[in-house]
Chains A and B, each alone.
Chain A
């Protein structure tokens, strides 16, 4: 096949093109460009997935220069699963964002944290989102450690810009803190890459895996430790989670959704990829630590979500907790692949459910003009579709059948029982109960009767429907689990 028709490089080029055009042409046309671009990207990702299931993993050498001198892009099952998640979650989010920005610029004097100020329009949202998606797609497709560093940095720069988008002091502070943590983390990652290059003279993952073998020298342990620490800080795994709630809880609703659903998954994907391939000898030593930190994240994040009275903070703390589940898979990784499937299923279903939750909360905040749980009284009668979306997303996070979250937790429990590591069950089930507690707290509040004086702003229907579609997708994912698992088997 001609290199021009290969979908792999287009998944990176296309968002770069529409982001640049959106920057030049302004926000009105930018929104339309983003929707058109993402629709094509989704088509390309689906095409790539079907093609790959027929013929196996794909390698694309950029400009005809292969590794070790050139840059190789690799599309295997894990990468394509993450690519699909990115495009599936991002398309409804840009539709939502168009309505969100036009609705909140007309709403009377928004007071809540995260509302875009009228004087700072949404101009920069479209280009930054395009660059963010290009960086994500490039990261999932990269096959060498240095290219991964560059894509991680691009992702950070776009994400920080999005957090600071509203220009309010609290957002700028959150963005700056996020930037400094990320820079320290990617510095540590780069140092690890430097040590690996110094030892083996290559950064290609495919070349490194056999070179490192099973008995790595001390320098590789140091390099691996630095890279892992950096990536865990970027994933906001407990105890590195401190930057996440202000950054995700303070940004505009579509931004929070993009960050919580997709951006934190990118560094998790890297941890997984490194521990599965080049740093596999380290996996045994660190897997227990990762599992324990994940368990701590589930308990602490859920507890904080229960304690907060702010809607967006609650959803952001819930992200801290749900990220913990992703790390429970490491002590259970085995050749049967159950834990790996559980991890990817959790990443995908949490991505969709969390996008739904943040978009639904954005609708509620726009309607009530407040960011507190107490302000929710009466919304169930006014915005039943949004509350239904919130409930469906909650079903996925709690892990009730038939949702994707249920499938993820089922696979995880299966893996834990199969290896006789039953203590993890307590965490998995306990975390589900805590999740139910904070989701029901929101739902209960929304069914209370509103005081007479309450005034609800009208909200565009398209915002309610996109939130609902994301939530429905996260639940229906459980019925399509077999296809995802078959996709993962392509290595």
Chain B
């Protein structure tokens, strides 16, 4: 098995774990962490499958860099919303 394929398989595993966490866990912070794991999984697949006979392909690496920026922004927005919820002290009744 080539290194690239190994990366891709790990990526699929992380993606499935993250997706599961996003849907099955109730705690909001866990959901945000799960989203990050899921995103990393997709990035690993992109970089891993992008290798052609062991030579890294720069295009997916550029894509992953863009993707990381996007997911950092999304994480920041999610955290800001969660903090807003905590500040409002909405512990009961109105949980998503």
Contact = CB atoms under 8 A, between A and B. Distances in A.
Given A183-B74, A187-B42, A169 B90 contact: yes
Most chain A CB within 10 A, of B28, B31, B52, B81, is at: B81
A176 B82 contact: yes
Which are the 3 A-B pairs with shortest beta-carbon distances?
Answer: A198-B49, A194-B46, A177-B96
A203 B59 CA distance: 10
7 contacts: A150-B66, A157-B77, A169-B94, A175-B81, A187-B19, A190-B46, A191-B41
Contacts of A198: 8, 45-46, 48-50
Contacts of A172: 81, 84-85, 88, 90
Interface of A: 68-69, 146, 149-150, 153-154, 156-157, 160-161, 164, 167, 169-170, 172-177, 179-180, 183-184, 187-188, 190-191, 193-195, 197-199, 201, 203
A180 B31 contact: yes
Contact of A173 (B41, B48, B49, B94): B94
Contact of A184 (B38, B59, B84): B38
Nearest to B85: A172
B74 A164 contact: no
B49 A169 contact: no
Interface string B24-43: 00001001000100110111
B67 A190 contact: yes
Contact of A176 (B8, B38, B49, B81): B81
Nearest to A164: B81
Interface of B: 8, 11, 15, 18-19, 22-23, 28, 31, 35, 38-39, 41-43, 45-46, 48-50, 52, 57, 59-60, 63, 66-67, 70, 73-74, 77-78, 81-82, 84-85, 88, 90, 94-96
A157 B76 CA distance: 10
Contacts of B11: 194
B96 to A, nearest CB: 4
Given A69-B59, A164-B84, A187 B50 contact: no
B18 A187 contact: yes
A179 B74 contact: yes
A121 to B, nearest CB: 16
Nearest to A203: B63
Nearest to B32: A180
Contacts of A194: 11, 42-43, 45-46, 49, 60
Given A183-B78, A184-B22, 11 more contacts: A69-B59, A150-B66, A153-B73, A156-B74, A157-B74, A169-B94, A173-B85, A188-B19, A190-B39, A191-B15, A194-B46
Contacts of B45: 191, 194-195, 198
A169 B81 contact: no
A187 B85 contact: no
Contacts of B77: 157, 160-161, 179
Nearest to B41: A191
A58 B46 CA distance: 30
B35 A184 contact: yes
A160 B96 CA distance: 15
Nearest to B66: A150
A180 to B, nearest CB: 6
Contacts of A157: 73-74, 77
A169 B46 contact: no
A148 to B, nearest CB: 12
Contacts of A188: 19
B46 A197 contact: yes
Contacts of B73: 153, 157
Most chain B CB within 10 A, of A149, A153, A154, A198, is at: A198
Given A150-B70, A179-B74, A180-B31, A169 B22 contact: no
A173 B82 CA distance: 9
B81 A179 contact: yes
B94 A170 contact: yes
A193 B60 CA distance: 10
A271 B88 CA distance: 38
A170 B93 CA distance: 11
A164 B87 CA distance: 14
